[in-house]
Each structure stands twice: as C-alpha cells, then as structure tokens.
Amino acid sequence: MTSSSRHPPLATTALRRDGDILVARRQALRLAELVQLDPQDQSRLATAVSEIARNAVRHGGGGTVEFALTPEMLVVRVTDAGPGIADVRAVLDGRAGGLGISAARRLTDRFELESRPGAGTTVELGKRLGRTAAALDPAPIARALSEEARVEDVAGELRDQQRELLRALAQLRAREAEVDRLNRELAETNRGVVALYAELDERAAELARAAELKSRVLSDISHEIRTPLNAMLNVTRLLLDRMDGDLTAEQERQVRLVRDSAGTLNELVSDLLEMARMEAGKTVVRPSEFTVQDLFATLRGMFRPLLTSDAVALVFGEAQQFPPLHTDEAKVGQILRNLISNALKFTVAGEVRVSAELRGADRIAFMVADTGIGIAPEDQERIFQEFYQIESPLQRAAQGTGLGLPLSRKLAEFLGGSLSVASEPGRGSTFTAVIPCRYAERRTSDRREGPHVRRGAAEAQHA
C-alpha cells in the first residue's frame, strides 16, 4: 500500500447501505471535476469507486471511503471490515468472481488491494493529475466536497423522510381500507340490528295482543264460572241451615264437601280475575286509613273458625304502636290471608306466627313464619311463578292452584312494596311483605304489572 495516507483526507464518507454507494460515486465525480480531470477520466473514476463501494456494502458489511490528493494523483481509499478475500490473485484476474474489482482495476491508473481473511479489505484507487492540477490548493477543494457532503446528507435525509412518508401513506391507505371494511361491516350490522328491533317490536306487539286476549278470556270465563258457583254456595248454605229439613250425617258431610269444593273454585276464580285485572292495568287502588291492630284483629277472627287441628297454632304477635297506614287495606289483607293460608296448609305441627315491625320511618314489614316443611333454595323464586307448585306429599294433599304467592307478590309491588321468602327445608319458612305506610300513586308503568294503576273513588275522597 502506498504512502497516500500521509496526506490528510479531503472527505470521508461512511458506507452503510446502498444509498451511500451513490453518494460515494457523486463525491468521486465532483472531486474529479474539481481537479480538472477530463470528462472521460471523471466517469471512469466514479464508476470504479461505485464498484468497490458496492463490494464494501454488500460483501464487507459496510465501511468508509476516503478522498485525498497527492502532487501527482487523486487517491480514493475504500476500507471495509468484512471477512476478507482468501485468494486475492484469483479475484484480480477475474477467475474467482469479483468482476467489479477487476473492472475497477482497468478503469484506474493505480489499483492496490490488501486483504486478509477475517481482517477486512482495503482498496486504493488512483487517477493521475494533469500538469495544471498539480498546483491546486487542496483547502478549497475540501470545502467544496464538504458542502457537497452536506447537500448529500440533506438529500439523504429527504430521501429517508420521503421513504418514511411513503411507508406512512401506505399504512394510512391500508388503515383506510380497513376502516372502509369495518364501516361496511358496521352498516350491515346496523341493518341487522334495525331488522332485529323491528322483529322484536312485532313480537312485543304480538305478546301484548296475546296478553290482552288472555286477560279478556280469563275475565269472561271467570265471570261465567262465578255465577253457578255462587248458586252452589247459596244452595249448600240453605241445606246446611236446615231450611228444607234435617240432613243425615252422611248428607251433611257430602253437602259440606260440595260447599268446600265450590269455595275453593270461587277462590281460584277470584285470583284469576285479580290477575287478569292486574295484567290489563285495570287494578283499582283504594287507599284508606287503618291500623295494624285492626288488621290483625280482622285476620284473627277470620281464621279462628278454620283452625281444625290442635297440632298447629295460629299466633298473632303483639301489635306495637305503629303509625297508621294509608293504603289499600283489602289488598294488604289479601296478601296476608294468602300467606297465612299457605303456612297453615304446609305446617303439620307447631305454629304459624304473624308479626309486624317498622322498617325505617315509612315502611312496615309483615312477617308470616311457620314451622312447616320449608322450601329448597332452588324453589324459593319458582314459587312466585304462576301455577308453580312444589312436589311433596303435603302439596298433593292440600288444595291449591299455585296463584296465591304470585298474586301476593304482584299486589305488594302494586302498593309500592315487596314480598320475599327465607326458608330452610325441614325448618319452616318466613314470608316478609314490606308495605309503605302511605300509598303513593306511581307515574311510570312496570312491564310486569301493566301500563298503569288507577286510584278509586275512595282515594279521590281522601284527597
């Protein structure tokens, strides 16, 4: 290798990627022009430099290009830190690839190559200067190359930015295409949702019509059934009152059986009518003022004749000094009657206890607790479904329709309260009806209870 390294380089360019090969070629071309080489030699030097720079980038893993001037020659030194060349002579002769190296050798006036396996490669190219170029001052040439390098750097940055911009635009187009696809899918989904809502509205209208028809049928049939039932009850009462003469013991037993059966059917008809009115939104709430003491006294007198077994006691708790209630007394009484009747049906021995307590400042909780068979956890919500009955020997023996508890819960909710149960199989049940002390007319409808609740004439009088 010659002693050109004694002269400081006019410019140095890093070789890292293919774009740097073009930069090195342009710098070589510019330097050859500045030192006044003829155009043909300018092209030859630029071509030789680009070939060697390409080898450094693609086979040597990158490197550097240095440009220097000696009194006789323009020197370009290309260095890489690659794997080196095992057989330099074969490459120079073109027998082992390296056509770019052999071409660069022919295009320059001086060509020196130094390489060792694993230690990289250094190639030094040179073009002789003319007589007038030998006296050139290298300082302005170095400044010109530096300016050229800065321009190339800016151009390179612009090219990099342009590539980044193109990539960003490509990503943006891809995202826009994805957004368009999602918008189309969303539009299709929206059409499906609109169609589904239309279908749901249609089904809701059908259900409303079916519910209205069911309520009308129940109401009509119940009224038709109630007439012969009342006749049966009146006839059995006349017979039991001996209005047409005495009855034998067997005749009295059979008449009582007919009366009890007619009474059970009459209760069923009453429950069906009440359910129909509630579902049609025609339930009338008639608030009046009454006390818990009066309510318990009425219930005690009503159930005393019905207690036929000494094994079960019906106990009413001590009525405390509760504030008076202003709500529908008949409906509160109906709720408690249903709860007490159920408790008596499913209690073989022990007691059924009715009590009340104040909840907060404006609600009273009525509790009906029994020592009966209890209710399994999985059945504690099902019993509030219409016509649902728990399978048990007592259930088969007791007369019932499965409407008492659902009707009681709906009545409690109509009055602005609630009905719940706490129970354990074999240890009895406690039903709790929480009723506001003062009924307040509701302004919004409840899907389960019907469109509205009307106040009766009595309420208007109280107002």
What does the pLDDT read at residue 346? Answer: 86
> Are the C-beta atoms of residues 129 and 74 closer than 8 Å to each other?
yes
Residue 430: pLDDT band by 50, 70, 90 thresholds?
A: very high
Alpha carbons 151 and 144: distance in angstroms, whole number: 11
Alpha carbons 47 and 50: distance in angstroms, whole number: 5
3-state secondary structure of 325: strand
Alpha carbons 431 and 375: distance in angstroms, whole number: 11
Report the sign of the C-alpha dihedral through residues 37, 38, 43, 47, in that order.
negative
What does the pLDDT read at residue 262? Answer: 75
pTM, to two decimals: 0.47
Q: What are the pLDDT digits (tens) for 242-283?
A: 887 788 888 888 888 887 777 767 766 776 766 677 666 677
Looking at every residue in the chain, the average pLDDT score rounds to 81
DSSP, res 463? -
Q: What are the pLDDT digits (tens) for 60-104?
A: 889 999 998 888 888 999 999 888 888 888 877 766 666 788 888
DSSP, res 359? E
Alpha carbons 457 and 411: distance in angstroms, whole number: 19
Residues 6+ apart with CB under 8 A from 22: 50
Q: What is the mean pLDDT of residues 127-131?
A: 82
Of 429, 431, 427, 438, the residue nearest 463 (C-alpha): 438
Beta bridge partners of 419: 433
Alpha carbons 40 and 46: distance in angstroms, whole number: 10
DSSP notation for 113-130? EEE-TTS-EEEEEEEE--
Amino acid symbol at 224: E
- Report percent pLDDT > 70 for the chain: 78
Report the sign of the C-alpha dihedral through residues 89, 94, 97, 102, in that order.
positive
Residue 459: pLDDT band by 50, 70, 90 thresholds?
A: very low
Of 250, 428, 254, 421, the residue nearest 349 (C-alpha): 428
Burial of 152 (0-12, 13-18, 19+ CB in 10 A): buried
Tokens describing residue 230: 């009342």
Report the sign of the C-alpha dihedral through residues 227, 232, 237, 242, in that order.
positive
User: ∠382-384-390 over CA atoms, to 5°?
Assistant: 50
Per 3-state DSSP, the chain is made up of helix, strand and coil in percentages (nearest 5) of: 55, 20, 30
Alpha carbons 300 and 26: distance in angstroms, whole number: 114
Main-chain dihedrals φ then ψ at residue 38, nearest 5 degrees = -70, 155
Q: What is the mean pLDDT of residues 25-50?
A: 90
